[in-house]
Chains A and B, each alone.
Chain A
Amino acid sequence: MVYRPTFRKQGDGSRCQWVNCGPASHAMAAQRHRRGVDPRTPHSWPPMPPEIRNYISPHSCGGTSLQDNDAATTHMYATNMDVRYGVPWTTFRSLIISGRGAVVQISYSVIAPTKYDASPGFYGNHGIYVNERRASDGAYLVYDPMADGRRAGIPKGPQWWPASLLQRAAEAMPGTRAGCINASFTKDTEV
């Protein structure tokens, strides 16, 4: 069975919580990258969203990029993830099937009309963590850091998203090359 990290929500009461999808997604990705093993750096373990945020921007908030978070988690947890742009969908599928997790950038406008919507009224850019693909139906196990079940109707924890939904949401990220997605991949943890 594929290693599954602990779900981390971004709405944790910390500074910048509602722009913390990147740090929250990367906290989960960093735990997967290391299969839960503490790299024994000077930073606390397990990875937590506020600590990654404080490394990226200790005195301000605002959105974070894949590169921002990769730099932070590499420094804090010795991860060195693979940030890639313009990834063809079928290649993304191969990377997940072959044992990697990924932080994927999406447009939430695609998710908003579905039962997976974890932030009613939000239609902007968002980051999620994808842990694995289910062979039986091709669905992906998505850790949406907004899916904390904070009120009725909001999903709680990891959810199996249809592949077509994840693909459409990722390809709809503004500025992305047509028919491709942007993502940051963990190492292959299933070797």
Chain B
Amino acid sequence: MPAKDQKKPAPKAKASIEEHKAHADAFLADPKYKVKPTTLNDTSDEAKP
């Protein structure tokens, strides 16, 4: 979901904690962000020791 599709923009960084909490809670309640993109293979690769 492109950022521009969000109904309400996130508060500025210096906004109050309450504003950030309200935005975070509203975002987490939106079910559309729970859907994994079909193009995404989100497994990790093998790192180099």
Which A residues have a C-beta under 8 Å from some C-beta of B? 10-11, 18-19, 21-22, 62-67, 82-91, 93-95, 97-100, 105, 108, 119-122, 124-127, 135, 138, 146, 150, 173-180, 182, 185, 188
Contacts and interface: CB of A to CB of B under 8 A. Distances in A.
Interface in B14-35: 14, 17, 20-21, 23-24, 27-28, 33-35
A91 B24 contact: yes
Q: What are the 5 A-B residue pairs with the smallest beta carbon separation, nearest first?
A: A124-B45, A63-B43, A90-B10, A175-B40, A88-B3
B44 A124 contact: yes
Contact of B2 (A90, A135, A179): A179
A139 to B, nearest CB: 12
Contacts of B1: 86, 88, 177, 180
B44 A174 contact: no
A88 B10 CA distance: 9
A83 B6 contact: no
Specify the main secondary structure of chain B where it touches its partner: loop
- Chain B interface extent, by class: 20 to 34
Contacts of A90: 3, 9-10
Contacts of A21: 44, 47
Contacts of B49: 11, 18, 119, 150
Contacts of A135: 13-14
Contacts of B2: 86, 88, 177-180
B47 A119 contact: yes
Given A85-B36, A98-B17, A188-B21, A64 B3 contact: no
A98 B11 CA distance: 11
5 contacts: A18-B49, A19-B46, A90-B9, A120-B48, A188-B21
B1 to A, nearest CB: 4
Contacts of B33: 84-87
